[in-house]
Amino acid sequence: MKEIKKIAVFTSGGDAPGMNAAIRSVVRTATYHDLHVFGIFQGYHGMIEGDIKRLERKDVGNIIQRGGTILKTARSMDFMTKEGRQKAYESIQAFDIQGLVAIGGNGTYTGAKIFGEEFNIPIIGVPGTIDNDIYGTDYSIGFDTAINTAIEAVDRIRDTADSHNRLFFIEVMGRHSGYIALYTGIGSGAGNIFLPETEGNIDGLISQLKKEGRRKKLFNLVIVAEGNKNGGAMEIAEKVKGSLSNFDLKVTIIGHLQRGGSPSCNDRVLASRLGHSAVTALLNNESGKAVGVKNGQVVYTNFSEAISKENEINRDLIEMAQILAL
């Protein structure tokens, strides 16, 4: 593998708070090592279109506290084709780019794996997704901010729930992963949590609500991950309403609020650490791997493993949440 002198960084898939901190870290680590670094705008779509610009230290000043991504992000159907990837390769070759840092989730890693293997270009992945569903790291960039945003929203909803004795079904993001729902549920003291990883028992919830009603226990929050097998918050609320006509049921969908906002300190530090490690990996002739942090230590996981395996939820946390809700 020849010595790397020019690298590029891009963000792909859904945006996540902390991506800018990772971009900043990549650029400043690269310039420290006398590398030329480029930013590819709009992910794989921008790579195909040649939307590439040289980045200097000053270009990433005052962005660590900003949500979203200054490089923008987009999904690209063209990149899924051999012809599209060939065009992308020709675009980065025009800038003599010799290595890539891809910030994103599972789809980003999949594209990076194929592209790296087809054109023999070194690529390192950085986990950037609020869902925290990427294998090979304890936490992904954006997750901590997302759950703190959700917690703040739920706390505000609890105020009105308490005031009016209402039961709120609150839907958070998580089409395939229940990490956000589980942590939000535990952190907010919710009475029940519905996750994609578990069946979720509607009849059990109705029975629980009736029991708590007889005990006159205040029970006013149910957290629902959007990918729950029983449906979203609206569907579950409708099913419960038919059996509990005496409850005043409300539904709130937090939605894309969870994606935005200034990243938390944890996400800024994590993103900075991962961006720095990604550049270090390229300099050490690593390729086809994703960088992560497990048990406080930086680790590298092959793309094939990171893509094929799941970052499974801790079942002990699920059991604990059920116990604490009693």
Give the position of tokens 């840092």. Answer: 101
Helical (H) or strand (E) element with 116? helix 106-119
Strand partners, 102: 10, 125
Question: CA-CA distance, 268 to 21, in Å (whole number)?
Answer: 6
Count of CB atoms situated within 10 Å of the CB of 87? 16
Catalytic residues: 131
Nearby residues of 86 by Cβ (< 8 Å), 6 or more positions away = none
Q: In what order do the strands lie in the sheet with 249-253?
A: 192-194, 221-225, 167-172, 249-253
In the chain, the DSSP E strands lie at: 6-11, 36-40, 52-55, 99-104, 123-127, 167-172, 192-194, 221-225, 249-253, 289-294, 297-302
Strand partners, 8: 38, 100
